[in-house]
Amino acid sequence: MHIKQLECFVQLAKTLNFSRTAEILHLTQPAVTHQINKLEEELGFSLFKRTKRHVELTSAGTSFYQDVEDILTRINIAVTKARFAETAFKTNLMINYDSFIPHLPNMLKKYRQIMPHVYLYLNTSVLRYKRELLINNKLDVIFTSHEGLENLDDFTFFELFNGYFSFALCKNHPLANKSVLNFDDLQGWDFIFFDAMRAPDTLSKLQNELHHKCPNATIFFAEDILSKIVMVKSGMGIAIVPSFAVTDDPDLVLIPVIPLEKISYGMAWKKNDTRAELLAFINIVKEFYDLPFTNP
């Protein structure tokens, strides 16, 4: 077992797509397949269930991913800190984010200006993992929906925006002129889903109900909101998205899902974590959203 095998595994666990993984790692698709096959052979169990059209983690693969991603992250950070041991990097901050968050580049730019000694690591782990990584001190702050954090007393959740789940359609779609849509309106159309590992429970429920109502529809899968939107604009299908994730796009139409399902989105961190480098980031985010600061 070596680092390249683990890198291929972690990236494939994120994308669930061999060609996309090969592109990200600058490898050929057969090379990625070879690395995964060798890793599974050495481990003695399967990490993925594979068909011609779909890839998903096995239960063993899910467990392995949770630990291996953190190991690789810490190896990369350790190597970087060692390489720059003579520079001002004294600590690190690990942030999990989603692709649609407004202002994030400017927030990070300002953070670097006031905290140049902090090594930043950005992570895009899927929903089912990010909360576990935060619980286990493998992430410092996550951007996430509030769903699933309600009963976790050890965390602070700060809402940045809220809205409702909506159907996203390209502007020239035959249903785009409707003011509301229910599942019965959608017979005969194709859809773009998140897999269960990437979707909040409410969204998974909506997707499952939609699939049940439209069993003959073709289902395409996207790995993040931006990918969903690109696929919608290309005419591949209809997607369910939070209303706040898509704003001011003239090529899209958002129509509320009926009955309305509310979603709250923000950032979360451990209540007992009062490190200056964490609080500085939290307050920069709040500044961009004109929210009250968090004191040490």
Residue 227 is assigned to a structural domain of this protein: yes
C-alpha torsion 44→48→52→53, nearest 10:
180
Instruction: Give the pLDDT confidence score for residue 296 in this predicted structure.
Output: 46
C-alpha torsion 81→87→89→90, nearest 10:
90
- Asked if 76 and 167 sit in the same domain, the reply is no
Token pair belonging to 227: 């990918």
Q: What is the pLDDT along the chain (296 residues), one digit of tens a residue?
A: 788 899 999 999 988 999 999 999 999 999 999 999 999 999 999 999 988 778 899 989 988 987 888 788 778 777 766 766 555 556 889 999 988 888 899 999 999 999 988 888 888 877 777 888 888 888 999 999 888 776 677 889 999 989 999 999 999 999 999 988 877 889 889 999 987 777 888 898 999 999 998 999 999 998 888 889 999 999 999 999 998 888 788 999 999 988 888 899 999 999 889 899 999 999 999 998 876 665 54
Instruction: Give the pLDDT confidence score for residue 79 in this predicted structure.
Output: 75
Number of domains in the chain: 2
User: Half-sphere exposure of 77 toward its Cβ, with a 13 Å CA cutoff?
Assistant: 20
Residue-wise DSSP of 96-119: E--TT-TTHHHHHHHHHHH-TTEE
Residue ending a domain, choose from 53, 81, 109 = 81
Residue 151 is assigned to a structural domain of this protein: no
- Domain span at residue 17? 1-81
Q: What CATH number is attached to the domain comprising 52? A: 1.10.10.10
- Taking alpha carbons only, the member of 160, 178, 144 closest to residue 254 is 178
Hey, how many other C-beta atoms are within 10 angstroms of the C-beta on 203?
23
Helix, strand, coil proportions of the chain in percent (round to 5)? 40, 20, 35
> CA dist 294 to 111, 239, 283, 286, Å?
15, 36, 6, 9
Residue 193 is assigned to a structural domain of this protein: yes
In the block, residue with structure tokens 């699939």: 211
Instruction: Give the pLDDT confidence score for residue 107 in this predicted structure.
Output: 94
Instruction: Give the pLDDT confidence score for residue 76 in this predicted structure.
Output: 77
Category of 202 on φ-ψ map: left (φ > 0), alpha (ψ -120 to 50) or beta: alpha
Instruction: Give the pLDDT confidence score for residue 52 in this predicted structure.
Output: 77
Token pair belonging to 149: 């954090």
Residue 100 is assigned to a structural domain of this protein: no
> CA dist 6 to 25, 28, 75, 137, 219, Å?
12, 16, 12, 21, 30
Residue 183 is assigned to a structural domain of this protein: yes
Residue 106 is assigned to a structural domain of this protein: no
Q: What CATH number is attached to the domain comprising 171? A: 3.40.190.10
Residue 202 is assigned to a structural domain of this protein: yes
Residue 246 is assigned to a structural domain of this protein: yes
The CA distance from 192 to 244, in Å, is 18
The CA distance from 169 to 254, in Å, is 7
Token pair belonging to 274: 């009062």
